[in-house]
Amino acid sequence: DGGITQSPKYLFRKEGQNVTLSCEQNLNHDAMYWYRQDPGQGLRLIYYSQIVNDFQKGDIAEGYSVSREKKESFPLTVTSAQKNPTAFYLCASRTAGDDGRQPQHFGDGTRLSIL
Amino acid sequence: DAKTTQPTSMDCAEGRAANLPCNHSTISGNEYVYWYRQIHSQGPQYIIHGLKNNETNEMASLIITEDRKSSTLILPHATLRDTAVYYCIVRVLGGSEKLVFGKGTKLTVNP
């Protein structure tokens, strides 16, 4: 089945530790996104990539890093510099249409907690 | 900085139509309206989107007013599995093409 796979579903981070969240899609989508969701809040954009080997910061990029070495993969690293990493992390992707109206489709998320 | 307003919560009886309203009075002429829903602890699920014409797919119908300042998502025969938070989004054009989610409407479908 085509879709977006995020792993792991649950992740725990120790103080001072970097952790990497995986996002893989087999939809042949060009653009990929990382969002963060806090309880009772909307989604906030962390990073996005519209093409392989290129990515841009979103609204809350501090303490995070990404890479886009392959079209189907967009891993997110939560570094020790991110002081409040406990959240629900969502990866999304979409086809880059001419008018940009193609919807984003989401994975099922990774819930990150601090030990 | 969401550009839409929605009721906080709504209830609907199972088997009846659920009509979820959304106001987007500052929408620009070329901005699309998107609807997503999110069931607890899952990623948002895309439902439907439209520009100015009414749209229908296998999940729902989208009715957009002629002045485009509001829209209504219609689930024709709600089931218990439709209980979720529904988000109406006006997509930011250009740049990141990010989605700005507001707080949405918590729809509860009752047996």
What pLDDT, on the 0 to 100 scale, is given for residue A23? 98
Among A42-46, A59-63, A94-98, B16-20, name the one with the lowest average pLDDT: A94-98
* pLDDT on residue B110: 97
In degrees and rounded to multiples of 5, residue B72 shows phi and psi of: -135, 130
| Beta-carbon-side half-sphere exposure of residue A44 (alpha carbons within 13 Å) | 14
Mean pLDDT (chain A) is 92
* pLDDT at residue A2 in the model: 67
CB A46 within 8 A of CB A56: no
Which chain B residues are closer than 8 Å to A59 by Cβ? 98
Check B96 against A107: CB less than 8 A apart.
no
Non-local CB neighbours of B36 within 8 Å, separated by 6+ positions? B44, B45, B46, B47, B86, B87, B89, B99, B101
User: What pLDDT shows up at residue B2?
Assistant: 55
The confidence score (pLDDT) of residue A99 equals 63
Question: Which pLDDT band, with edges at 50, 70 and 90, does A97 fall under?
Answer: low
pLDDT tens figures, B42-62: 999 999 999 988 999 999 999
Contact assignment for B97 to A100 by CB distance below 8 Å: yes
Interface test with B, best of A25, A101, A108, A111 (most B CBs within 10 A): A101
Q: Is the confidence at residue A59, as pLDDT, over 70?
A: yes
Q: Which of residues 13-32 of B touch A (CB under 8 A)?
A: 32
**Helix and strand element counts for chain A (H, E):** 0, 11
**Bridge partner residues of A54 (DSSP):** A51
Q: Which has more confidence, A97 or A69? A: A69
Residues (pLDDT < 50) of chain B are: none
Position B41 scores a pLDDT of: 83
Asked if B97 reaches chain A (Cβ–Cβ under 8 Å), the answer is yes
Mean pLDDT highest for which of A9-18, A33-42, B57-66, B90-99?
A: B57-66
Q: Taking CB atoms and an 8 Å limit, are A90 and B49 in contact across chains?
A: no
Bond preceding residue A8 cis, omega within 30 of 0: yes
Is the pLDDT reported for residue A98 higher than 60? no
Top residue of B97, B103, B105, B106 to mutate, by most chain A CBs within 10 Å, is: B97
Look at residue A56 in the predicted model and tell me its pLDDT: 94
Cβ within 8 Å, pair B96-A43: no
Give chain A positions within 8 Å (CB) of B2: 42
